[in-house]
């Protein structure tokens, strides 16, 4: 964080890209969210007819398996770099920061090969490298010729939020002039659906999947797995003019904490999220009253939603009655390693267009989740900054503050 009284050094956002179950790019995703359209439906990628949970938020793609990670990364990087000229930036001054988990194995592949000792269907000796979490960061670095720091952050649901924050900090410290920050995850996978079902974390509304993700609602019964990817191109103020594209926003505040409590849920008082929000606002030189829109982590699980709501109330104080809050996971599902960057971009789009996307399916707000909810229908918002929260397995918490240029 900056010294007290000093103007915070921001990272300029010169481009961004998003792919989710509701849109193939950032604009179509935001338009769908504003319209309240969900991407959650019956699983098409594999036969889930015997699974306890048979729905998810799939990205529609002709690809599947490990190659879908590549396709999603390529799509958001292409969109984020559109109109950005990196040719004048020394390669050593370009960094890449990606939030990624290891590619989840296909459970049918495991059963048919490893357990049955059958011949490997893929003769490629480097096939195992496709499953490594560092694959996407290295892929991006090769694509743009980045020879500065290249980092993979694999911290569950805060992975890409921390990637954005660490990229901003690298720019602040003068380590890079340009940083590409993003995340990708493919959760609608037999391995993940079975695993989270056994954990009891997923909604089981198989008869009405479009109503399954309902953050902050009294009837919520778990989250919905989703696919997605997002990326930002960040630059220092000193070099932004050389990139040939006007900035579309700034990342001005970042903080990360740990609950040190339980691996799967947050403490009832949401203390880790509260501290992260407070530190991120201080880092940006902002107060709670400056927030025009907050994109909550809002997973639709009973305890985590209540803990986050408690954290928001504590962090925002009296301003909580005036800060519009929504969770777009109600439409995109939970994209885990990708959700932080996706939702930071959504927060930036919200303050750009002065409209907040809603939390759909919020029919009976849980009294324990009392906030200024944007429920079911998009709402106009005033001027100010955008903020987003992320909270992950293991107790990690990240908050980001985004602003207009």
| CB-based contact 191:106 (threshold 8 Å) | yes
Domains in the chain, start-ordered, CATH in brackets? 11-114+128-403 (3.40.47.10)
Confidence at residue 66, expressed as pLDDT on a 0 to 100 scale: 67
| pLDDT exceeds cutoff 50 at 3 | no
Residues 6+ apart with CB under 8 A from 153: 97, 98, 99, 100, 159, 160, 162, 163, 166
| CB-based contact 165:201 (threshold 8 Å) | no
pLDDT bucket at 262, cuts 50 / 70 / 90: confident
pLDDT bucket at 72, cuts 50 / 70 / 90: very high
Confidence at residue 219, expressed as pLDDT on a 0 to 100 scale: 98
| pLDDT exceeds cutoff 50 at 2 | no
| pLDDT exceeds cutoff 80 at 76 | yes
Average pLDDT over residues 267-291: 96
Confidence at residue 4, expressed as pLDDT on a 0 to 100 scale: 44
Confidence at residue 6, expressed as pLDDT on a 0 to 100 scale: 52
| pLDDT exceeds cutoff 70 at 350 | yes
| pLDDT exceeds cutoff 60 at 123 | no
| Residues 312-331: tens digit of each pLDDT | 999 999 999 999 999 999 99
pLDDT bucket at 394, cuts 50 / 70 / 90: confident
| CB-based contact 61:71 (threshold 8 Å) | yes
Q: Which of 30-44, 47-61, 103-117, 201-215 has the lowest mean pLDDT?
A: 103-117
Active centre residues (catalytic):
157, 297, 334
User: CA–CA separation, 192 vs 207, rounded Å?
Assistant: 20
DSSP annotation of 156 reads G
Q: Nearest 10 degrees: CA dihedral of 104, 210, 206, 197?
A: 30
Average pLDDT over residues 218-241: 97
| pLDDT exceeds cutoff 50 at 5 | no
């Amino acid at each position: 964080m900056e010294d007290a009284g000093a103007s915070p050094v921001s990272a300029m956002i010169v481009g961004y890209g998003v792919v989710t179950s509701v849109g193939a790019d950032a604009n179509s995703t935001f338009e769908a969210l504003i319209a309240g359209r969900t991407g959650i439906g019956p699983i098409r990628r594999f036969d889930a007819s015997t699974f306890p949970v048979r729905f998810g938020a799939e990205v529609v793609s002709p690809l599947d398996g490990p190659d879908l990670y590549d396709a999603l990364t390529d799509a958001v990087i292409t969109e984020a770099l559109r109109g950005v000229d990196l040719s004048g930036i020394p390669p050593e001054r370009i960094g890449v920061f990606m939030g990624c988990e290891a590619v989840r194995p296909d459970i049918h592949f495991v059963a048919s090969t490893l357990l049955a000792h059958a011949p490997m269907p893929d003769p490629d000796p480097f096939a195992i490298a496709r499953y490594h979490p560092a694959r996407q960061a290295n892929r991006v670095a090769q694509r743009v010729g980045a020879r500065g720091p290249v980092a993979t952050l694999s911290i569950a649901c805060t992975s890409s939020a921390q990637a954005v924050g660490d990229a901003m900090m690298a720019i602040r410290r003068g380590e890079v002039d340009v940083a590409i920050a993003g995340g990708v995850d493919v959760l609608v996978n037999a391995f993940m659906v079975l695993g989270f079902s056994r954990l009891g974390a997923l909604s089981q509304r198989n008869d009405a999947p479009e109503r399954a993700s309902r953050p902050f609602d009294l009837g919520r019964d778990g989250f919905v797995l989703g696919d997605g990817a997002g990326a930002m191109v960040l630059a220092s103020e000193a070099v932004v003019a050389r990139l040939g594209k006007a900035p579309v926003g700034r990342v001005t505040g970042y903080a990360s904490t740990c609950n040190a409590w339980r691996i799967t849920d947050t403490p009832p008082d949401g203390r880790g999220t509260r501290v992260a929000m407070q530190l991120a606002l201080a880092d940006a030189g902002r107060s709670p009253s400056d927030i025009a829109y907050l994109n909550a982590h809002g997973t639709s699980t009973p305890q985590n939603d209540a803990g986050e709501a408690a954290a928001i109330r504590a962090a925002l104080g009296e301003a909580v009655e005036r800060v519009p809050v929504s969770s777009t996971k109600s439409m995109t599902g939970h994209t885990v390693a990708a959700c932080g960057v996706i939702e930071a971009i959504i927060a930036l789009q919200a303050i750009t267009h002065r409209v907040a996307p809603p939390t759909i399916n919020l029919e009976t707000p849980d009294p324990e989740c009392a906030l200024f909810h944007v429920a079911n229908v998009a709402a106009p918002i005033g001027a100010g900054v955008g903020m987003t929260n992320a909270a992950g397995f293991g107790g990690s918490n990240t908050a980001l503050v985004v602003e207009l240029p």
